[in-house]
Structure 1
């Protein structure tokens, strides 16, 4: 068994929590977390949980940062001989990993590097840069580092991690999610149709739903956008929709809020293309792209340094710059060519089955364990 440590309470609704959840379903070890958002007290789990979970007492948030407080639970985690796998970025998780390495040098302590932080100009960028340098220094001395794509592995090597200690384990879908998505029929080819665009994600600033709506506003062909998810920017995005499309806003853009798995699958069954227009390296993979590809629809995302989200959905039948400026043109192309959409849907499902299917993920996880 392998114990895990992360900031939030799994399975949650974010990529880090979903990765920890799927690993725990296989490893069976205890999952520790700071439960920063208090989900353990009332949140309904998005997926069934079969492994033990424990909460670590932690400090009040300081700019969203939490550190563990001295407690019997923390001492038990530090003294355990079980392998420990921590999910980064999180200063609190990083601290525990370092302490475990110091207290028990022979214990297997590994880290999951989910994404690189933005290190832009300003105070927050400086803090991110300092944390990231410290994190790179510490993880390079752990037993191993796991990341989600070949692009992130190359960046970790460039930053000083040893090649023999950095492994790639892509994200995955649950067994039920995968089987339901793969069971969806292929899209039918039609000469005259409305392009059905799907967005799934937390409605926050870096998701750039505004870029997607502005790109769609330039199309000369009929289209409709379905937005699945909720978040602090939902009101602003709804206002922008009304500003862009006036009386047609309710017809062109549907805000569904957060949906359960069955309702989300129904939206995937109706969609032609999923767009993930994030503009930061915080979006390093995009599990929603796997949901789309397994369902037989292409997923569009931008290519960014220190992010693998553009790599995940790359298809041989669609060459485009994967930049925000190129998004209107590629959407116009897809809206005008239903035959191309059908081919891309077949290629997306094939890429999923070859690279990201659960059987592939399980084989890679076993190989990682043996290594």
Structure 2
């Protein structure tokens, strides 16, 4: 099978000048999925934007085509990736919610007669009035192109039911496929960073809610220091906020590779305090639990489903609730951690299993095989699995 995956930004920050600030969950998921599809023997092309020169490379069986972008607007790349689609590809897999990428790729694939998979990772929510207006316009106009997709992947049905951008998509086209983790990279056995600390992993952008976490920590006594692994446009402001609040926070910049796993393994807890539905899943939660470290996360649709695998949920944006939950977590630590937690996550979310589910949807679209049944997510009232 010849598959083209479209990633808004270059998932490899070493190949761009400032691209590390744009490497988030979508880029990491598409990069790993590309590699796993290649390992399954498929011909894979990863099409992405870059702030460096355009170039093609082939590594790990994946051809990566980098197209220079003119810049970004509302954190979306200004680039014409649709014109670089290969008309000989069997299928195009594109993420939703990128206004200058998603609609044009879906329209171009439709004109070329190429089957498409739309991968819905987050709902657009922007803080400024202009951003809110832009997100609203996108929902009204661009999301109509979602109907061109042959199937739509969602991380969880709970999240899909909560967002307006999928109103134009027939329910029977939705397929639930969670994000995955690489057990060879994220596991409980291995070196751990020294020290007693809490961990935040993610891009330094408003919806990630790091400011909320800093405020919550400011009201706690005898709390471990915070280590922040991530880059983004809010770094200087967040560093200043930590100083103003007298919070012991170390900003590490973008972290990947072996050190990221070591950071997860060494942490007491990993915290994801996201404040709105731009956070639809929280890949860092899976990575942390796969390394044996439990989590505290915002109770957003989709995110809470992941967090309940091994941790606690709090009200999004609620500083007192987050502070109280952190106090409780640090005092009691009554959730599984270490190999027991890691094994559960590997069993459910390893990339091999996730890739098989993606391939089953590809085959369904290409009429090679019929649809495969998908598990329903646990209900909101269901007890977390670690309590049983």
With the shorter chain as reference, the TM-score category is 0.7 to 0.9
SS state at 2:9 partner: coil
Counterpart check, 1:291 vs 2:287? yes
The 8 Å contact of residues 180 and 354 in structure 2, kept in 1 or not, is answered as: yes
Counterpart check, 1:262 vs 2:268? no
Q: Structure 1 residues 333 and 108 mapped into 2: Cα distance closer, same or farther (>3 Å)?
A: same
Which residue does 1:334 correspond to in 2?
329
1:323-371 Cα distance to aligned partner (Å, 9 max, x none): 6241011110111114x15x35677435413431223313322322332
Question: Using the alignment, how far apart are the partners of 1:220 and 1:126 within structure 2?
Answer: 41
Which residue does 2:19 correspond to in 1?
none
Q: Which sits farther off after the overlay, 229-238 or 324-333?
A: 229-238
2:278 to 282, 301, 318: 282
The 8 Å contact of residues 273 and 298 in structure 1, kept in 2 or not, is answered as: yes
2:95 to 63, 87, 98: 87
TM (normalized to structure 2)?
0.77
The 8 Å contact of residues 119 and 154 in structure 2, kept in 1 or not, is answered as: yes
Question: Using the alignment, how far apart are the partners of 1:113 and 1:242 within structure 2?
Answer: 37
The 8 Å contact of residues 221 and 332 in structure 1, kept in 2 or not, is answered as: no
Which 5+ residue runs of structure 1 have no aligned equivalent? 187-193
Which residue does 1:173 correspond to in 2?
181
Question: Using the alignment, how far apart are the partners of 2:163 and 2:147 within structure 1?
Answer: 9
Which residue does 1:313 correspond to in 2?
307
Q: Structure 1 residues 62 and 299 mapped into 2: Cα distance closer, same or farther (>3 Å)?
A: closer
Q: Which has the higher helix share?
A: 1
Q: Structure 1 residues 21 and 242 mapped into 2: Cα distance closer, same or farther (>3 Å)?
A: same
Report 1:92-111 matches (<5 A): 92-105=100-113, 107-111=114-118
The 8 Å contact of residues 295 and 312 in structure 2, kept in 1 or not, is answered as: no
Counterpart check, 1:66 vs 2:74? no
1:285-309 Cα distance to aligned partner (Å, 9 max, x none): 12111110101111222123xx422
SS state at 2:152 partner: strand
Which residue does 1:38 correspond to in 2?
52
Q: Which sits farther off after the overlay, 283-292 or 212-221?
A: 212-221
1:103-139 Cα distance to aligned partner (Å, 9 max, x none): 234x212211111101678332122112123343211
Which 5+ residue runs of structure 2 have no aligned equivalent? 14-22, 365-388
1:48-74 Cα distance to aligned partner (Å, 9 max, x none): 6541111346656566552428xxx92
Task: Count residues in correspondence.
Answer: 342
TM (normalized to structure 1)?
0.80
Question: Using the alignment, how far apart are the partners of 2:257 and 2:92 within structure 1?
Answer: 30
1:300 to 282, 296, 301: 296
Residue 22 of structure 1: how far off its partner (Å): 1.8
The 8 Å contact of residues 97 and 109 in structure 1, kept in 2 or not, is answered as: no
Counterpart check, 1:129 vs 2:144? no
Q: Give the CA RMSD over aligned residues.
A: 3.1
Question: Using the alignment, how far apart are the partners of 1:93 and 1:50 within structure 2?
Answer: 25
Residue 99 of structure 1: how far off its partner (Å): 2.7
The 8 Å contact of residues 6 and 93 in structure 1, kept in 2 or not, is answered as: no
Which residue does 1:28 correspond to in 2?
43
